[in-house]
Amino acid sequence: MKKTVLKFGLYGAITISVLFLISWYALSDLSFSMQEVLGYISIILSLSFVYFGIKHFRDKENQGKASFKQGLIVGILISLIVALIFGVLDIFYIKVINPNFTTEYYEHAIADMKASLPKVEFETKLAEMESQKELFANPFFSFALMAMTVFVIGFIISLISAFTLQRK
């Protein structure tokens, strides 16, 4: 099981890293909302290795059998590797590659809110964002937020994959 988890976790980590670097280099001119959509697509593509990892474990290492629990454990561990690598990659991005990202994103979010919300609601949301600004600038919080986002998606994919691939 360990070899499968490491192998497919590494595949997922490499995939998310490559897709991240491609989107940063080639697609940086896109709007923040489009970049966010592409980010989620990259996360899902990289976590597709959860399915393949569980299938490989079942077919190649466990004589064609895998319980839901075994599949879920394999999927969660693969997801954890991808999530941790993405969290580290995110910190590298906001600290080294684009240290102005949080400021740019914050200004963009304020401009979007100002254009779409009534003045009273905008003032309330702005005060809320101001109180959270420092928290989001914290690299440990950013790491945890991005890693948890990937892990939660990976957990859902693990549940679905473990359920569909279970065989007694």
Least confident of 7-21, 62-76, 96-110: 96-110
Q: Is the pLDDT of residue 27 over 80?
A: no
Q: Is the pLDDT of residue 147 over 90?
A: yes
Provide the pLDDT for residue 10.
96
CA dist 55 to 11, 49, 64, 149, 157, Å? Answer: 15, 10, 9, 24, 13
Quick one: pLDDT band at residue 41, thresholds 50, 70, 90?
A: very high
- Percent of the chain whose pLDDT exceeds 70: 99
What secondary structure does DSSP assign to 19-70, as a single string?
A: HHHHHHHHSTTS-HHHHHHHHHHHHHHHHHHHHHHHHHIIIIISTT-B-HHH
Provide the pLDDT for residue 144.
92
Provide the pLDDT for residue 7.
96
State mean pLDDT over 35-48: 90
Average pLDDT, the chain: 89
Structure token digits, residue 30: 């896109």
pTM for this entry: 0.85
